[in-house]
Copies of this chain bind each other. A is one copy, B any other.
C-alpha cells in the first residue's frame, strides 16, 4: 500500500488538490465570519502553522459579503461553507470565494443546485460535495450500510454536476464512526476520478479527537486515499493543522519541522528521559527545518536509534553519547545533555 490513488487535479485559488500533488492541509475558522478582522487574524495564524486552504462558515448574507474583505487580508485560498440556502453560495461566489463546500443533504432541490453549479462553472470555482453521516438526505437512500448510503447520495450529486458539464469536484464522506468513514471513502474511491477531502467528523476534543482522526485519516492515507485532509477538533483550529502535519509526517507524506524520536523510558533507564524529551521538544518548537532528533534512555535501542537520527543522544548512567549523522561525537555529562544536543541541532 501507500501507493497513492490517482485522482484528477483540481485548482483551488492556486493550490492544486489531487493529481499527484502533496496532500494539502486545511482547516476552518471558528470566528464569526462577519467579523472580517478577527477572521483574517485567525487565518494568518493558521497560515503560519502550515494551513494551505481555509474554509469559513457562511451562515448568512453578511457573512457571504464579508468574504470580499477577508480575501483582501489573506493569501490562502478561501472555501465558503454553505448549508441550507443556495443563495448564500451564489453570494459567496460573487464575493470571490475560491471554492464552495455544499452539503447535498440540505442545499435544496435540483434547480437550486444547478444554479450554484453553473455560477461556479462560470468562474472555474471547484465545489466540494461534503456529505456527513449526521445529515444524510432523509427521504432517499434508506437501505444499505451508512457508508453505502453516503456514497450513493454523493454519487447522485456527482452525476448531476457531470450532467451540467462540471467536473471541478472534490468529495468528502465523513462520519464520527471510523470504520464507516473508511468504508465510505474506499467505496467512492473506486467509482469516481475526483480528489477526496478526508476527515473524521465531530471527532471530539484534543484528548480523544486526535486519536480518532489519526486512526481514520491515517488508515485512509496508508491505503493511498486522500488528496487533502482536515482534522476536526473541538479546539482552536491551529491545533488541527499541527495534528494534520504529524499524521502526514508519520507516513512520510509531508515534511514539516522536526521529528522527535524518544523512548518511553522504563526500569532500565538511568536518566530522566521524560524531562529531557519534553525540554528538547520545547526547544525544537522554534526549529522549522525537517531534522530528526532522538532522545534514548539506555543502550538497548539507544545507539541504533540515535545513529539513525540527524542528531541523537543515548543516555547511560550519568553520561550520554551524542551522535550526529550516524557518527559518535562525544560523551557528555548528564547536566549537559540538553545543551549539547541542541548545539548539534543548531549546527546542522
Contacts and interface: CB of A to CB of B under 8 A. Distances in A.
A305 B59 CA distance: 20
A211 B178 contact: no
A145 interface: no
Nearest to A223: B219
A224 to B, nearest CB: 12
A291 interface: no
A20 interface: no
Contacts of A2: 179
A234 interface: yes
Chain A interface category by residue count: 35 or more
Nearest to A55: B266
A255 interface: no
Interface stretch (A11-19, A89-97, A267-275): A267-275
Interface string A182-212: 1000000000000000000111110111111
Contacts of A219: 215, 218-219, 222
Interface stretch (A112-120, A158-166, A240-248, A339-347): A240-248
21 contacts: A57-B266, A132-B300, A132-B301, A136-B304, A176-B305, A176-B308, A177-B252, A179-B251, A202-B305, A204-B260, A210-B214, A211-B243, A211-B247, A212-B250, A215-B218, A218-B218, A219-B222, A232-B264, A234-B265, A235-B264, A237-B264
Interface of A: 1-2, 28-34, 39, 56-59, 63, 81, 83, 103, 106, 132-136, 176-179, 182, 201-205, 207-212, 214-216, 218-219, 222, 232-237, 240, 243, 246-247, 250-252, 259-269, 273-274, 277-278, 281, 294-296, 300-302, 304-305, 308
